[in-house]
Amino acid sequence: MLQATSLTEGWTLRHPDGPLPAAVPGCVHTDLLAAGLIPDPFLGRNEAEVAWVGRRGWTYERVLDAGSGQEQTDLVFDGLDTVAEILLDGRPLGRTRNMHRTHRFDVTGLSGRLTVRFASAYAEAEAVRGRVGERPGAYAEPYQYVRKMACSFGWDWGPALVTAGIWRPVRLEHWSTARLARVRPLVTVEDGTGVVELRVDVERTRVEAPLAVEATIDGVTARAALDGTRGAVRLRVPEAELWWPRGYGGQPLYNVELTLLHGDAALDVWRRRIGFRSVALDTSADAHGTGFTLVVNGERLFARGVNWIPDDVFPSRITRARYRERLAQAAAAGVDLVRVWGGGIYESEDFYDACDELGLLVWQDFPFACAAYPEEQPLRGEVEAEARENVVRLMPHPSLVLWNGNNENLWGFRDWAWEGRLAGESWGEGYYLGLLPRVVAELDPTRPYTAGSPWSGSWDHHPNDPAHGTHHSWEVWNREDWAAYRASVPRFVAEFGWQAPPAYATLRRALPGERLAADSPGMLHHQKADDGNGKLARGLERHFVPPHAGDFDRWHYLTQVNQARAVAAGIEHWRSHWPVCAGTVLWQLNDCWPVTSWAAIDGDGREKPLYHELCRLYADRLLALRDASLAVVNQAAERWSGRVLLRRMSVAGPELGRAELPFTAERRTVAVLDVPRELRPAGPEEFLVADADGLRATRFPAPDRDIPYVVPEYRVALAPGGITVTARTLVRDLLLQADRLDAAARADRGLVTLLPGESVTIGVRGWKTPDAHAARTALYCLEPPR
C-alpha cells in the first residue's frame, strides 16, 4: 500500500545572519516576519520597506531520507512558489516555474541534504518577457510572464508583495507495483439515479502485473480490470438525493472510495466526497439578446454572487477554519455563488469543501487576468499542465459549476488599445478559445465552460455588450453616478461595485498612531485604486453635502453609506428584471489586507454596512421601489401572497397618504405593482415607504443634499445582548459602528431607517462593558448640513 510521509517539519531558510526556522507550508515573508527581520507589511507604509524580499533569491533546506522497503519513492511538492531548482546533496532533481501545479521527483533510495533554491519571480518574468516580447497589461508589473498568483505583484486593492516559498504541503510517497496517478469522477444524474464513472490512470513499476480497481459508494460496489495503465468503473446509486445550491434544497454528500488492487492486495486508495446534481448554462438567443443563465437540476437560477480574491496576500496563512468563516459569512448574507477570480489561485480543497457543505456554487476562473498573455513556450506547456491537473483535482466538488477562461482579457483586447500594440503577437486567445475549452471538454464534460468574463459568446458582439452574455459594469464607478445602474438590464452582471474604507477598528490597527484623514499618508497608501479617493469624493458630492475638512468620522460613515446605496441600486434594479437578468456577482466579497476597496468584508474580517445590506438584497424575498412601481421579488420555492402597505411620508414626520395593495408573486418570479399616483412623492421633502411581511423598501426621490431633513432625535437604551434605539423623528440610515465600542465587538445589522415612533434592537456580540451612553457615541445617521 502506498505510504505517505509528511515533510513539513525540519526546514530552514538561508539568511545572511544564519539559518532561520522555516514554516512549511509558508513563504519567505512569513518566515522573515516570524524571525522579526521585517516589519508587518500590512501596517502603515511598511509594504514599501519589504519590497526587496521579492527581488532576490531564497533557499530552503532540510535533511531527506527516502529509504523504504518499497520499490519507488517520490518526492511530491503540492505547491512551489514559483521558480525553483530542487537539489539533493547538490545534484539537480529538477526545476519548476509554476505555482499552480504539483511537482513529483523520483528519489528512490536517496538521502542527503534537500535544497529548494528559489529565484526571484521578477527575474523569471523579466527573462521570459525578453524571450517572447512585450505584452500589454493593466499594470506595469510583469505578472503575465510567470505562472504565479498575479495579485502578488499588486492590484487596485492589493499590495505588491512578491512571494517565494513552499506554499503547499510536501511529502514522500513510497509505493510498489503501481499507484493511482489520476482519478476522474464523472458525476451525472440519469432518471433519478446517481451515476459516477471513475476513470483511472495509473503509474507502474511492473508492467506485467494484472491490476484492477474496486469502488464503493453508499453501499454500492463495482470492480473492473485495468487495461495497461487505464481503466474505468461505473457505479449507480438508485434514488440518489440531489445536491442543491443553498436556498433550493439540501447538500447531501456521498463518500466514494476507489482502491487499486493487485490480486487481493491493495496498492493505493483514492477517497473523495461527491454530490449528485446536473448543471447547464443556457446561452440561447432570445428577444433581448443572448442569455447567460445557470441551470442546476433543471432549475433556472438568478445567481446571487460575489467575487472572491485570495483571502490573504500570503495564501499559506489561510486555514481551513478561516475559509469556513469567510464562506459562512457569504452564505449568511444570502450569497449562493462565489466566483474565484482569475488574478488569484486555484484554491485549496478546504475552500471547495466548505462550498460543498454550505451550498455555494463555485464559478472558477483559470488564472489569467487583465493582461495579454504570451502563448509561446515556456508558458504554453505550463498552462496546459496546470489546467489538466486542476480540472481533475476539482472535479469531485459538486459546488463547482462553471469553468471560465479568463478575467477581462477578451474585453481588454478589444477596448484597451491592445490590438495595435500587439501587432499580431499572441495574447491568450488561443488559450481561451482553443486550449482551455478542449481540456475541459476532454477531462470534465459534465460542466460548462465560458471563454471569459465579460464575454458575449462570440466576436460577433462586443465582448462587454450588456445584451449578450456576461457584463462588467465599471463605467458607473469610474465615471458616473450609481443611479446609472438603473439605466440598463444586462443579461448577467459578473462584476460591479463601489468603494468604501474598512471598519474603524481595522484602520486603527493598520495605521497605528496616525491621525486619520481621507488623505492622510497611511490612508493614501492603503488606497490602491487609480484616483480612488477622487472617485469616492465625486460619488459623495452627487448625493451629500461634503463633510467638513478634518471630520474623518463623518467622511468614513458617509462613504460606507454610499457604498451600500450604490450596490443596492444595482441589485434591486437587476433582480427586479429577472429572468432577463440572470445574476449579479458583486465585486467583491473579501479583502487580502486592510485597504479601502469594494469589499463587503474588510481585511480583518469585519463586515462593512454593505455586508448587512447584502443580507437584505440577496434574501429570497425583496421589495424594490422604483419611480412609479414596486417590484415584489420572490426567489423562494413557494408562492408569496399578501398585502403591501404603501405610505407617502414627509421627512418632517407626518404621513401624507397610504394604501394597501394585494400582491401575488409565484415561486421564482417577480411581480410588479403600480404605485398609485396620489402616493408618489411630490418633491424632495417627501418619500415613499413599502412594507410587507416584515420587509421594507424606501424611495427618496432626491439626493440627500437636497432633502430638508430635520435634526434626528432618538432614545438609546440597553437591551439583552445589545441596544434598542427608538426614533422620535425620521432617522435615516442609522448605523452602530460597534467596533468603536470595542475592537472585538460586532453588530448584527447595518443601516436601518426608522420612522417616527419606531424602534429597532441591534444585537452586539463581543462588547465587554455595555453602556448606553457609550453606544450613542458609536451611532451615526444622516443629518441636516451643519
Residue range(s) defining the domain that contains residue 768 = 709-786
Asked if residue 505 and residue 485 are part of one domain, the reply reads yes
Please say if the pLDDT value at position 5 is more than 80.
yes
Asked if residue 385 and residue 327 are part of one domain, the reply reads yes
Grid cell for residue 596: 479601502
CATH number at residue 159: 2.60.120.260
Give Cα 53 distance to the centre of its chain. 27
Please say if the pLDDT value at position 692 is more than 90.
yes
Which residue has cell 533557499? 59
Please say if the pLDDT value at position 389 is more than 90.
yes
Please say if the pLDDT value at position 362 is more than 80.
yes
Give the residue numbers marked as catalytic. 408
Asked if residue 322 and residue 251 are part of one domain, the reply reads no
How far is Cα 591 from Cα 502, in angstroms, rounded to an integer? 9
Asked if residue 653 and residue 519 are part of one domain, the reply reads no
Instruction: Give the model's pLDDT for residue 68.
Output: 87
Last residue of a domain, one of 259, 274, 289: 274
Instruction: Give the model's pLDDT for residue 206.
Output: 87
Instruction: Give the model's pLDDT for residue 331.
Output: 98
Query: Minimal CA–CA distance to 767: which of 785, 734, 741?
Result: 741
Asked if residue 302 and residue 200 are part of one domain, the reply reads no
Instruction: Give the model's pLDDT for residue 785.
Output: 78
Burial label for 773, CB within 10 Å (0-12, 13-18, 19+), is exposed
Please say if the pLDDT value at position 786 is more than 80.
no
Asked if residue 563 and residue 417 are part of one domain, the reply reads yes
- Return the exposure string of 243-265: e unless at least 16 CB atoms fall within 10 Å of the residue's CB, then b: bbbbbbbebbbbebebbbbeeee
Instruction: Give the model's pLDDT for residue 208.
Output: 86
Q: Cα–Cα distances in Å, from 760 out to 317, 333, 586, 718?
A: 39, 20, 28, 12
pLDDT band at 207 (very low <50, low <70, confident <90, very high): confident
How far is Cα 738 from Cα 745, in angstroms, rounded to an integer? 5
CATH number at residue 253: 2.60.40.10
| Mean pLDDT of the 166-170 span | 98
| Mean pLDDT of the 436-444 span | 98
pLDDT digits (tens, 9 = 90+) for 554-589: 999 999 999 999 999 999 999 999 999 999 999 999
Last residue of a domain, one of 573, 590, 620: 620
Q: Are residues 240 and 223 in contact, defined by beta-carbon separation less than 8 angstroms? A: no
Instruction: Give the model's pLDDT for residue 627.
Output: 86
pLDDT band at 690 (very low <50, low <70, confident <90, very high): very high
Please state the domain count of the chain.
5
Instruction: Give the model's pLDDT for residue 303.
Output: 98
DSSP string, 290-352: E--EEEETTEE--EEEEEE--SSSSGGG--HHHHHHHHHHHHHTT--EEEE-TTS-PPPHHHH
Query: Minimal CA–CA distance to 493: which of 434, 569, 437?
Result: 569
pLDDT digits (tens, 9 = 90+) for 10-67: 999 999 889 999 999 999 999 999 999 999 999 999 999 999 999 999 999 999 998 8
Q: Cα–Cα distances in Å, from 400 out to 444, 459, 756?
A: 11, 27, 48
pLDDT digits (tens, 9 = 90+) for 270-320: 999 999 999 999 999 999 999 999 999 999 999 999 999 999 999 999 999
Q: Are residues 775 and 716 in contact, defined by beta-carbon separation less than 8 angstroms? A: yes
Give Cα 737 distance to the centre of its chain. 25
Asked if residue 765 and residue 625 are part of one domain, the reply reads no
Amino acid at 415: D
Asked if residue 289 and residue 234 are part of one domain, the reply reads no
pLDDT digits (tens, 9 = 90+) for 628-671: 999 999 999 999 999 999 999 999 999 999 999 999 999 999 99
Residue 380: phi and psi, rounded to 5, are -60, -45
How far is Cα 731 from Cα 726, in angstroms, rounded to an integer? 9
Residues of the chain with pLDDT > 90, as a percent, come to: 97
Asked if residue 270 and residue 297 are part of one domain, the reply reads no
Eight-class DSSP state of 188: E
Instruction: Among 16-20, 339-343, 592-596, 672-676, name the one with the lowest average pLDDT.
Output: 16-20
Q: Is the pTM of this model over 0.75?
A: yes
Q: DSSP 3-state assignment of 139?
A: coil
Instruction: Give the model's pLDDT for residue 549.
Output: 85
CATH number at residue 723: 2.60.40
Amino acid at 158: G
As beta bridge partners, residue 531 has none
Please say if the pLDDT value at position 443 is more than 90.
yes
Q: Are residues 491 and 291 in contact, defined by beta-carbon separation less than 8 angstroms? A: yes
As beta bridge partners, residue 187 has 196
Asked if residue 423 and residue 532 are part of one domain, the reply reads yes
Please say if the pLDDT value at position 731 is more than 90.
yes
How far is Cα 174 from Cα 179, in angstroms, rounded to an integer? 10
Asked if residue 625 and residue 615 are part of one domain, the reply reads no
Please say if the pLDDT value at position 69 is more than 90.
no
Eight-class DSSP state of 676: P
Residue 654 contacts by C-beta under 8 Å, 6 or more apart in sequence? none
Query: Minimal CA–CA distance to 149: which of 159, 557, 678?
Result: 159
Q: DSSP 3-state assignment of 268?
A: strand
Last residue of a domain, one of 151, 173, 195: 173
Asked if residue 334 and residue 436 are part of one domain, the reply reads yes
pLDDT band at 176 (very low <50, low <70, confident <90, very high): very high
Grid cell for residue 542: 452627487
Burial label for 52, CB within 10 Å (0-12, 13-18, 19+), is exposed
How far is Cα 454 from Cα 471, in angstroms, rounded to an integer? 5
In the sheet with 279-282, reading across from the earlier edge strand, the strands are 279-282, 293-296, 299-300
